[in-house]
Each structure stands twice: as structure tokens, then as C-alpha cells.
Structure 1
């Protein structure tokens, strides 16, 4: 996967993580609020919401980002990219509503996984 990097965006998000998921004790209201913050970032910056299934970050990863910040030829506003060491990389076009729903599901159901927002240019997936 390749992405479009602009000097302004890269400089603005040098630190790696823009913000990370809320604490483990999550209320539905806090989850919804966090997800809305993520969606605002996704709309306005070349960032990705990244979900990692385990805290040592060696497991499967999923990111959601706006298609316009990638070189992917996809007829959708957003794309979901899954990278599973066992299955490889899978790309699925999706809508903003789908991103909202899936992020909420991740935060509601998985207490050890995490979601963060980071520069899209800094998100790496191994292919193969």
C-alpha cells in the first residue's frame, strides 16, 4: 500500500500517535465520543485509525483511512485494510458509517486490543 505524503501533514504529526484509545473501562458514551473524534481526524488529515488485536503489536492489525490519501483505486470514501500475519493483507472499500460501526465494535468487545490514530505514512503492513 502506498500513501500520499504532504510535508505539512508529516510535520504536523511527527510524534507518531496523534491520540490513543480511551482507558480499558469504557462506557458506551465514551466509546461513541472517541470514535467521533477519530472520524473528525480521518476527514481532515492524512491519518489512519489503527486497531491492533494485542498490545505487543505482533498480531493482526486493521486500519481505516480516507481513500483520497492513498494510491488505491477504490470507489469509496474510506478503505479498511486488514493485515493478518497468517492471511496477508486484505483491502475492503467502506463508508464512514461502516468505519464508525467497526471502531465501536472493536472498542466495545475487545478489552486488550487498542485503537490509535497515527500518520497514514507511518502505518506499515508486510505483504505476503
Structure 2
């Protein structure tokens, strides 16, 4: 399995992003506010929150989305999919609380990472 952006989503990224990246000044209050906005969007639309560790390189990606908007057969409300070129892809069922916690951790601890929210149709989940 791999997680990739479709050519259309890469070309239209700026116009299709539902929420931009988290605030540059990552105070705990701003991080929590941003993550809550992300969770509202994920709950109502077929969107994925995407976290990329090395922007512009072949770095790792993690996405969180609601299972009902995927073809995955997982018994959970949300799923976390990690795609790391070094170790491959891992799929983990999770709850909304776990998504909240992990997004906050990413934004609190990794200043080089980037989070955005985009239509799930722009992200392909494919078997390799």
C-alpha cells in the first residue's frame, strides 16, 4: 500500500486546501484551535488531514481520515495511515481523541513538518 497525491491534487493543492497549515507561531492555544478546526472539517466532509515531515522531499507522510470515506475495511471511526519510505506503510484504526492527540503532538514537537487538510479524493491509497 502507498499513499500518494494524484497529479490533479498536486496541481490544484492551493485551491483545494480546506485549511492551510497550522499557525507559524505554534502556541499551545493556537495549535489546539487549529486541530479542533481540522476535526470539524474531517467529521463533515471526505477530507484528510495530511502531515508531511520533509517538505519537497521524499519524506514521511501521515494522514488521518474517517474510515467511512475510504475503501479500507477497518472497525474504527478514523484511521491513521503512515507512509515512510524507510519502513513502508502502516494503517492503524484510531478514535477522534487519538487524531486530536497525535495532531497536537506533531505540531508541538516538529517545527519542520507541515499539516494541511485536503479532499480525500486527491489522495490515493493503493496496494503496491
> TM-score over 0.5 for the alignment?
yes
How far apart are 1:125 and its partner, in Å?
A: 5.4
Displaced runs of 4+ in structure 1, greater than 6 A? none
| TM-score (normalised: structure 1) | 0.84
The question of 1:46 aligning with 2:35 is answered no
The aligned counterpart of 1:117 is 117
| TM-score (normalised: structure 2) | 0.84
Structure 2 spans left out of the alignment, 5+ residues: 2-12
How far apart are 1:87 and its partner, in Å?
A: 1.3
1:83–1:125 contact (8 Å) kept in structure 2: no
Give the root-mean-square deviation of aligned CA atoms: 2.0
Deviates more, 1:21-30 or 1:95-104: 21-30
Return the alpha-carbon distance in structure 2 between the equivalents of residues 15 and 124 of structure 1.
18
Count of residues in Structure 1 that have an aligned counterpart in Structure 2? 117
Higher strand proportion: 2
Return the alpha-carbon distance in structure 1 between the equivalents of residues 57 and 106 of structure 2.
15
Structure 1 spans left out of the alignment, 5+ residues: 2-12
The aligned counterpart of 1:16 is 16
